[in-house]
A = this chain, B = another copy of it.
Amino acid sequence: MTTSNKKQQAEQITRYADMLAAMGTEPRLRIMQLLLSAHPEGLVVSDIGSELDIPSSTLSHHLEKLKHEDLVRVRREGTFLWYSANAEALQELLGFLYAECCTRNKAVEPQKIVCCK
């Protein structure tokens, strides 16, 4: 493996760790869960806040963190900001965990997570 490959891999791990950390608090995991349930449209900030009972400034920080880790996307419609889950990023993270746990080492059996017919 080349030096730059190693560096790339190291950055990759750091990125996945940051993504996991971003989802690693109860309020933010709930936000992700809620956004996934409203996928792909997503929800406006105030609706997330009222649904999860989070003050707006606190919520704004959580959304900022999720956005920073590319776990959510945002688009403006008038005065409203619509946040939605970033499916591609989640897929990549899930793929990484899946590979580490199942593919590479067979620690976890794929069929125990999902059964494909």
Contact = CB atoms under 8 A, between A and B. Distances in A.
Contacts of A113: 91, 94-95, 98
Identify whether the interface residues of A are mostly helix, strand, loop, or mixed. Answer: helix
B20 A100 contact: no
A54 interface: no
Interface in A66-97: 85, 87, 90-91, 94-95, 97
Copies in the complex: 2
Nearest to A90: B101
Interface residues of A, number: 46
A36 B105 CA distance: 6
Contacts of A102: 94, 114
Nearest to A38: B105
